[in-house]
Amino acid sequence: MKFRQVHLDFHTSEAIEGIGSGFSKQQFQEMLKIGHVDSITIFSKCHHGWAYHPTSANEMHPHLSFDLLGAQIEAAHEIGVKTPVYLSAGLDEKLARRYPQWLIRNEQEQLNWVSNFMTPGYHQFCMNTPYLDILAQQVEEVVKNYDADGIFLDIVGVRECYCQYCITDIRKQGSDPRNIQDMRKMWEETYTRYATRMNETVHAIKPGLPVFHNSSHVDRGRRDLAHLNTHLELESLPTGGWGYDHFPLSARYAQTLGMDFLGMTGKFHTSWGEFGGYKHPNALRYEAALSLANGARCSIGDQLHPGGMMDIATYSLIGEAYREVEEKEDWCRDTTSIADIALLSLEATTWEAGYEDIELRNRYDHDTGAVRILLEGNYLFDVVDMQVDLAKYKVVILPDAILITETMKAKLADFLATGGKVLATGRSGLSSDGTRFELDLGVEWQGVSTFNPSYFRPDFELPSLRTASFVIYTEGQNAVSTPEGIVLGHKENSYFNRDLFTFCSHQHTPSDLQEAGVGMAEGSDGIYIAWNVFEDYAVKGSLPVKEIVCYALDRLLENKTLVTNLPAQGVATLQVQTASNRWVNHLLYASPVRRGKGVEVIEDLPTLMNTEVTIAATEQVKDVYLAPQNVKLPFSQVDGHVTYTIPLWSCHQMVVLQF
């Protein structure tokens, strides 16, 4: 897999004439060179349903007069650039209007994406219809006729559908569309059948050709779905609704799967489909570096003008980032992460437990808040599911709502027996029936608190604040300490919840300053915090919540692998290149700001001075140097700890520990 990919959208209406009329082989190649691009995903078929090449399995765009796909492949290959080929799988507006009976329907017979044919937009196909055969023919044609370096199939996944094909099938199976469990099983089978059909179609012609099925999110806990792909492309456009929290969360999980993967951002100020929108070059520099720091390769989304001309502003912008990536590649190949902490993803555990709580499965705040605290605290961590080997970690975090199944209990018992510790919050750590703690966390559970919000008064002082009653807005639990438990702070309730005749001030009632059970405690297995603190941090982002969690983690981590004075908006990772016998410490810093409504923007990249790092390493270090600059750094190695200082750096700096 290449490091410097462009994903070149080309969703082009039949109402536009002169398609590809401005395409120039020379100009196409020149832009790829300016952009330092080594792979570009180009279009066979778009969301409108048109092909951009001669075809018998589809219809060529009515205003295209030549083989645009073939011309692009020829031009790219001539200068050593790979060309994966894109086909819109889930959307085909041309066919949607001809065969509306093949479209996904909900229980009320409504369409998805757009609700009707009087609204501009696309309509999604059900793969349990004859459309699947047409799509397979289109894929087969491309793989047979073109020297594609991969196939990218878009807008797919496990979809809920009540079209008449699905209704007929479920009744043939002896079931009823009102049986939700049987319907879910059928939807899973529909997606697996689709993906298997596409993979077999491709690999029957070109064994091993990369294939990726894009659903815009890699579900944590669904390794079965991930491995239907040959590699992963993590779609995560920070300005397009994903935000800057999404990619680290997705990537820290993806790297545990043992698959090649890349991070996909965009050149747009907002998101896909934006013409004439550009982000600051510093934003792309940072986003590309963030991919490298998390073990990923890079992809940047663009959209080709209907005339087929590549945009000089776009490829100059992309080139700012990819010129730096090109210089860094040698230190970013074949890496694995070093991590002290395993964040057990709530999304993953709810998938693994089944569909009993659909609402909970679709709530990502718990995972997101945990990742944000871990990043800001400069902890080394992976995001994991229950299939991962926990032996490499020192601490496992159970965020907010993870009930302990028998399988999980056995796995955690093995982890704890070798000296590991657990940080559990909220309802996490309770038995699967939610009645008692399955771990020794120094507390006994007494039920869900009826007060919201409630308050935490720690028995320790926070680094940035004096002792106080700190408000926590999310659900709290009532708990008392066990005889052996170490109480680290108490819960306090408000005088009353805000109601019609009992309210106080503008938001909520203050603490009554009376102890109301344990707020935080420690037992032989780890530490417990009696609120959904990670959800709270994702939603509210309060300083006390972060420092409370960091206190607990620092107490559990007796010897952190990495310690640094990097500011809160920084990111620190540590990657291993076993073949080169070296560790690579990635340091990043940028501070997104909000522009407009909900758009996070990176523009300024300040220079950081005298960043100190200490890394636990028992093996003798031969050299420490900056990469890609190849400038040696002074360092000391005492009692199994390597210490160095980076005098000046901006955006992204790699420090190599050569053993």
Look up the CATH number of the domain holding residue 600: 2.60.40.1180
Local confidence band at 107 (pLDDT 50, 70, 90 cut-offs): very high
Please state the separation of Cα 630 from the chain's center in Å: 32
Instruction: Answer yes or no: do 102 and 196 share one domain.
Output: yes
| pLDDT for the residue 424 | 98
Domains identified in the chain, total number: 3
| pLDDT for the residue 140 | 98
Separation of alpha carbons 580 and 584, rounded Å: 11
Domain that residue 595 falls in: 562-658
Look up residue 370 and give its DSSP letter: H
Instruction: Answer yes or no: do 388 and 513 share one domain.
Output: yes
Return the H-helix or E-strand segment holding 448. Answer: strand 443-448
Domain boundary among 327, 361, 388: 327
Long-range CB contacts (within 8 A, 24+) of 464-470: 464/543, 464/547, 465/543, 465/544, 465/547, 468/544, 469/510, 469/511, 469/513, 470/542, 470/544, 470/545, 470/548
Asked whether residue 64 is assigned to any structural domain, the reply reads: yes
Ramachandran bin of 434, using left for φ above 0, alpha for ψ from -120 to 50, beta for the remaining angles: left
Please, what is the average pLDDT of the chain?
A: 96
Largest CA distance in the chain: 81
**What mean pLDDT is predicted for residues 293-299?**
98
Asked whether residue 333 is assigned to any structural domain, the reply reads: no
Domain at 397, CATH number: 3.40.50.880
Instruction: Answer yes or no: do 551 and 574 share one domain.
Output: no
Instruction: Answer yes or no: do 575 and 486 share one domain.
Output: no
What are 103's strand-pairing partners?
125
Angle at 234 between CA 232 and CA 236, to 5 degrees: 170
Instruction: Answer yes or no: do 259 and 178 share one domain.
Output: yes
| pLDDT for the residue 352 | 72
- H-helix segments, 233-364: 246-254, 281-293, 312-328, 346-353, 358-361
Instruction: Answer yes or no: do 495 and 524 share one domain.
Output: yes
Domain at 101, CATH number: 3.20.20.80
| pLDDT for the residue 159 | 96
Give Cβ neighbours of residue 98 (< 8 Å, ≥ 6 apart).
Answer: none
Asked whether residue 47 is assigned to any structural domain, the reply reads: yes
Instruction: Answer yes or no: do 223 and 371 share one domain.
Output: no
Give tens-digit pLDDT for 306-344: 999 999 999 999 999 999 999 999 999 999 999 999 999
Domain boundary among 496, 523, 556: 556
Total-model pTM = 0.95
Instruction: Answer yes or no: do 293 and 276 share one domain.
Output: yes
Local confidence band at 595 (pLDDT 50, 70, 90 cut-offs): confident
Asked whether residue 588 is assigned to any structural domain, the reply reads: yes
C-alpha count within 13 angstroms, C-beta hemisphere, residue 411: 14
| pLDDT for the residue 599 | 84
